[in-house]
Every structure is written in structure tokens, then in C-alpha cells.
Amino acid sequence: MKVLIIEDENAAARRLEKLLGELAPEAMVLDRLDSVEAAVLWLQNNPQPDLMLLDIHLADGSSFEIFDHVPVSCPVIFTTAYDEYALRAFKVNAVDYLLKPIKPNEMAAALEKTRRLSNTVAPDYAPLLDMLRKQEGSRYLRRMLIRFSNSIKLVDMSDAAYFYTKDKITFLVSRSTGKRFPVDYPLDKLEGMLDPGVFFRINRQFIINVEAIKEMHPYSKSRVKVVLEPGTDQDTIVSTERSAEFKRWLVGE
């Protein structure tokens, strides 16, 4: 079994290798990568591995971006500290979704599932996806309590024009008033809490509501510059690695 490990934490990558050595002595680690860019380049220039162990948060973005750039036909086991990405993981035919710290018995079960799949037709995840979609729909954040000054404000997510970070603080900007409020969640956490049909993370600094888009303009390297309402003095340019997914999101794919 030829395995590709994509993990940006050295300690976590070493633990994965150790587990593989104990649970699957026949496994051979082809490479250890720590970023979306490195993974895309590797997959473009090498045959598909037999298995990919893939963290979700990498050094330069979300590992789901890999699937936007290169076809991945091998089984994938996601390894992550976050449970809110399970639905997206199954969309790319994940064999399993393991939460850190990974338990040996869970990894053993995932490896056994991978061995079984190698001898069968790829499973049909459609029924599971339908069920997860229904569950996820009720789990997205609908309202948020925000503390500011000496009061607490309740903000409906339909009134959230966008979220952005500045000086390591996350802010919500209201569509109705244009005011900004500091929130307790980092963008990495919010990305999994917000309805992906309504909100999209265009770059490292911004998650935007589709209703807040006033105009869009072509930008260099096939990127898109988004003009938001209420306006902002920060750059709101869709990053290169997110551009293709952004365009699909706009039309509801």
C-alpha cells in the first residue's frame, strides 16, 4: 500500500507514520507534504497513491482546494481536529473522517475499509449525503450573540454582510447598518459554522454573504475582485486557489 501523507504539523505527520508502521506494516509512505500547493504539484507529477491521509487545514489553505485543481481517484482518509467538514469530505468520496487525536482502533478500522474498497466498486455515497445534508441544514449558525461595550447584541446571519480579520481580530459587518462588531470566532471556525450556500471564504481575510456582493470585476491571474456593500477599504479579491470554487458557488453548484 503506497501512502501519501498531507499534514502541516510535523508531530501529527510523525504520529500517522508511526500508526501506519504498527497497523499496516506493508504500507510505504511515498512522501509527506504540508500545503495545498505542494500536494497539487505532487499529484500532477506522480501516479496516484493507493491511499491519501489528508489533514483539512494546511499551511496555505483548505485541503478541499486540492480537489479543485487535480483529479483524485485514490481513497482518502481525512484527519482533522474539526468535525464540521464531514459533509464536504464525503462529497469527495472520503473513506473515513478521523478526529484528532487519532485513536489506533479508528485508524485500523479505516485502513481495513480501504483494503476492502480496493477490491470492490466505489461505494455510492448518495444516500449518506442526502441524510447529512438534512442534518447539516439545521446545524448552521442562524444567529450570533455579540458582546460590545456594556451590552449584548443578537445578530441574525441574514444581516451579516461579511466577516473579516484585522490585527488578529475577527469582525462581523452588518448589512442593515454597516456597523462592525468583534466576534469570538476565527474565520477557520466560522467557515464550518456558516451555511455554504450563503457564505463563501474568498481569501484568508474575508468570508462574504452572497447578498453583500455589489459588483464583480476581472482581476489578474483569473481572479475576481468583489465590491461589497457595505464597502470596505481592504482588498476583497478572490484568491487564485479559490477562484474556480467561487464561480461554482455563485451559480449554486
CA–CA distance, 211 with 232 (Å, rounded to integer): 15
Residue that finishes a domain, picked among 136, 157, 187: 136
Q: Are 191 and 136 in contact (CB under 8 A)?
A: no
pLDDT classification of 132: cutoffs 50, 70, 90: very low
8 lies in the same domain as 111: yes
pLDDT digit string, tens, across residues 87-122? 555 555 577 888 888 889 989 998 988 888 766 554
Is pLDDT above 50 for 123? no
Q: How many other C-beta atoms lie within 10 A of the C-beta of residue 162?
A: 26
What total of structural domains would you count in the chain?
Answer: 2
149 lies in the same domain as 87: no
pLDDT classification of 60: cutoffs 50, 70, 90: confident
Q: What is the pLDDT of residue 136?
A: 47
97 lies in the same domain as 149: no
154 lies in the same domain as 86: no
130 lies in the same domain as 6: yes
Q: What is the pLDDT of residue 189?
A: 85
219 lies in the same domain as 96: no
Q: What is the pLDDT of residue 130?
A: 54
- What is the average per-residue pLDDT within 67-85? 78
110 lies in the same domain as 66: yes
- What is the average per-residue pLDDT within 21-38? 92
Q: What is the pLDDT of residue 87?
A: 54
Predicted TM-score (pTM) of this structure: 0.51
68 lies in the same domain as 127: yes
In terms of average pLDDT, the best of 11-15, 87-91, 226-230 is: 226-230
CA–CA distance, 7 with 89 (Å, rounded to integer): 16
Q: What is the pLDDT of residue 71?
A: 84
Q: What is the pLDDT of residue 149?
A: 67
CA–CA distance, 153 with 160 (Å, rounded to integer): 13
Range of the domain at 6: 2-136
